[in-house]
Amino acid sequence: MFIIKAIEFIGTVFKDPIEETGRILLLFYSTIKWLFRPPFELKNTTKQMVEIGINSLPVVLITAVFTGMVLALQSYTGFKRFGAESLVGSVVALSMTRELGPVLTALIVTGRAGAAMAAELGTMRVTEQIEALETLATNPVKYLVVPRFISGTIMLPCLAVIADIIGIIGGYFVTVIVFGTSPNLYMKMTWDHLEMNDIYHGLIKAGVFGAILSLISCYKGFYTKGGAEGVGKATTGAVVISSMAILISDYFLSAWLFK
Amino acid sequence: MNTLINIEDVHKSFGSNYVLRGANLKIIKGESVVILGGSGSGKSVLLKHIIGLLMPDKGTVTVAGSDLSKLDENDLNELRKKFGMLFQAAALFDSMSVWENVGFGLKRHTKFSDKEIKEIAVEKLRHVGLTGIEDRMPSDLSGGMRKRVGLARAIAMEPEILLYDEPTTGLDPIMADAINDLIIEMREKLKITSVAITHDIKSAYKIADRIAMLYNGEIIETGSPDNIRNTLNPIVKQFVEGSAVGPIVIEGLKR
Ligand SMILES: Nc1ncnc2c1ncn2[C@@H]1O[C@H](COP(=O)(O)OP(=O)(O)OP(=O)(O)O)[C@@H](O)[C@H]1O
Ligand SMILES: [Mg+2]
pLDDT (tens digit per residue) in A106-127: 999 999 999 999 999 999 999 9
The answer to whether B93 contacts A137, with C-beta atoms less than 8 Å apart, is no
Ligand nearest to the CA of B38: 1
Nearest CA to ligand 1 atom 30: B40
Give the pLDDT of residue A60: 95
Q: Point out the least confidently predicted range of A85-99, A111-125, A230-244.
A: A85-99
Q: Among B12, B13, B14, B51, which is best to mutate for testing ligand 1, by the most ligand atoms less than 8 A from CB?
A: B14
For B162, nearest residue in chain A (alpha carbons) = A135
The answer to whether A128 contacts B91, with C-beta atoms less than 8 Å apart, is yes
The reply to whether ligand 1 has any atom less than 6 angstroms from the CB of B16 is no
Ligand nearest to the CA of B165: 2
The answer to whether A129 contacts B104, with C-beta atoms less than 8 Å apart, is no
Whether B198 and B240 have beta carbons less than 8 Å apart is answered as no
3-state secondary structure B144-162: HHHHHHHHHHHHCCCCCEE
The reply to whether ligand 1 has any atom less than 6 angstroms from the CB of B17 is yes
Residue A157 has pLDDT above 70, yes or no: yes
Q: Cβ-count burial of B197 within 10 angstroms (0-12 exposed, 13-18 middle, 19+ buried)?
A: buried
**Chain A environment of B51 (Cβ under 8 Å):** 135
Q: If residue B8 lies in a helix (H) or strand (E), which one and from where to where?
A: strand B3-14
For chain B, residues with pLDDT lower than 50 are none
**Torsion angle of alpha carbons A11, A13, A18, A21, nearest 10°?**
180
Q: How far is CA A177 from CA A84, A173, A180, A184, in A?
A: 18, 5, 5, 13
The stretches of chain B forming alpha helices (DSSP H) are 43-50, 73-80, 98-102, 104-109, 114-127, 143-155, 173-190, 201-207, 225-229, 234-241
Q: How far is CA A108 from CA A93, A105, A115, A218, B117, in A?
A: 20, 5, 10, 17, 40
The answer to whether B105 contacts A136, with C-beta atoms less than 8 Å apart, is yes
| Pairing verdict, β B66-67 and B58-63 | antiparallel
Angle at which helix A101-109 crosses helix A196-222, to 10 degrees, equals 20
The answer to whether B80 contacts A131, with C-beta atoms less than 8 Å apart, is no
ipTM of predicted complex:
0.91
Confidence of residue A14 (pLDDT cuts 50, 70, 90): confident
What lies within 8 Å, CB to CB, of B128 at 6+ separation is B148, B149, B151, B152, B179, B182
Give the pLDDT of residue B253: 64
From ligand 1's centre to the CA of A133, what distance in Å? 20
Question: What residues pair up with B211 in beta bridges, in sequence order?
Answer: B34, B223
From ligand 1's centre to the CA of B19, what distance in Å? 8
Residue B110 CA to residue B126 CA, distance in Å, equals: 21
Question: What residues pair up with B164 in beta bridges, in sequence order?
Answer: B86, B196
Residue A114 is classified by DSSP as: I
Residue A194 CA to residue B210 CA, distance in Å, equals: 78
At A195-207, the pLDDT tens digits run 888 899 999 999 9
The answer to whether B91 contacts A127, with C-beta atoms less than 8 Å apart, is yes
Q: How far is CA B142 from CA A238, B134, B139, B198, B242, in A?
A: 32, 14, 8, 20, 28
Cβ neighbours of A250 (radius 10 Å): 18
Whether A153 and A218 have beta carbons less than 8 Å apart is answered as no
For B76, nearest residue in chain A (alpha carbons) = A137
Residue A142 has pLDDT above 70, yes or no: yes
The reply to whether ligand 1 has any atom less than 6 angstroms from the CB of B88 is yes
How many residues are there in chain B? 255
**Chain B environment of A120 (Cβ under 8 Å):** 95
A128 touches chain B (CB under 8 A): yes
Q: How far is CA A186 from CA A114, A183, B76, in A?
A: 36, 5, 63
A139 touches chain B (CB under 8 A): yes
Give the pLDDT of residue A188: 87
**Chain A environment of B77 (Cβ under 8 Å):** 137-139
With H, G, I as helix, E, B as strand and everything else as coil, classify residue B131.
coil
Q: What is the mean pLDDT of chain A?
A: 92
Residue B156 CA to residue B124 CA, distance in Å, equals: 6
B58: phi then psi, degrees, rounded to nearest 5 = -145, 150
Give the pLDDT of residue B113: 94
The reply to whether ligand 1 has any atom less than 6 angstroms from the CB of B40 is yes
From ligand 2's centre to the CA of B217, what distance in Å? 14
Q: What is the mean pLDDT of chain B?
A: 90
Q: Which domains does chain B have, with CATH numbers?
A: 32-39+79-241 (3.40.50.300)
**Span A220-248, mean pLDDT?**
94
Give the pLDDT of residue B255: 52
Q: What is the separation, in whole angstroms, between the first and last Cα of chain A?
A: 45
Burial profile A210-221: b = 16 or more Cβ within 10 angstroms, e = fewer: bbbbbbbbbbbb
3-state DSSP helix/strand/coil percent for chain A, to nearest 5? 90, 0, 10
Residue B74 CA to residue B84 CA, distance in Å, equals: 17
pTM for the model stands at 0.90
For A47, nearest residue in chain B (alpha carbons) = B95
Across the beta sheet with B58-63, what order do the strands follow? B17-28, B3-14, B58-63, B66-67
Q: Among B11, B13, B19, B85, which is best to mutate for testing ligand 1, by the most ligand atoms less than 8 A from CB?
A: B19
The reply to whether ligand 1 has any atom less than 6 angstroms from the CB of B142 is no
Q: How far is CA A99 from CA A91, A93, A257, in A?
A: 11, 10, 12
Give the pLDDT of residue B254: 57
Question: What residues pair up with A182 in beta bridges, in sequence order?
Answer: none
